Amino acid sequence: MTFATGAIIANNYYAQPLDAELSAHFGVPSSAIGAVLTLIQLSYALGLATLVPLGDLLERRRLVVTLLGVTVLGLVGVALSPTLPLPAAAAGVVGLTTVAAQILVPFAATIARPGEQGKTVSTVMSGLLIGILVSRVVAGVVAELVGWRGVFVLGAVLTAVSALALWRTLPVLQPATDLRYPKLLGSVLTLIREEPVLRFRMAVGACGYASI
Instruction: Specify the CATH number of the domain 2-173.
Output: 1.20.1250.20
Burial class (CB in 10 A: 0-12, 13-18, 19+), 205: exposed
Query: pLDDT for 26-79, tens place per residue?
Result: 999 999 999 999 999 999 999 999 999 999 999 999 999 999 999 999 999 999
Average pLDDT over residues 155-168: 98
Q: Please tell me the distance from the alpha carbon of residue 166 to that of residue 64, in angstroms, as a whole number.
A: 8
Q: Does the structure show a pLDDT above 70 at 105? A: yes
pTM above 0.85, yes or no: yes
Domain ranges within the chain, ordered by starting residue = 2-173, 179-212
Q: Does the structure show a pLDDT above 80 at 211? A: no
> What is the pLDDT, as a whole number, of residue 212?
61
pLDDT confidence band for 179 (50 / 70 / 90): confident
Q: Please tell me the distance from the alpha carbon of residue 58 to that of residue 134, in angstroms, as a whole number.
A: 31
Q: Please tell me the distance from the alpha carbon of residue 183 to that of residue 178, in angstroms, as a whole number.
A: 10
Query: Could you tell me which residues come within 8 angstroms of residue 68 by beta carbon, excluding any fewer than 6 positions away?
Result: 8, 97, 100, 159, 160, 162, 163, 166
Query: pLDDT for 131-145, tens place per residue?
Result: 999 999 999 999 999
Q: Of 68, 72, 76, nearest to 167 (Cα)? A: 68
Average pLDDT along the chain: 93
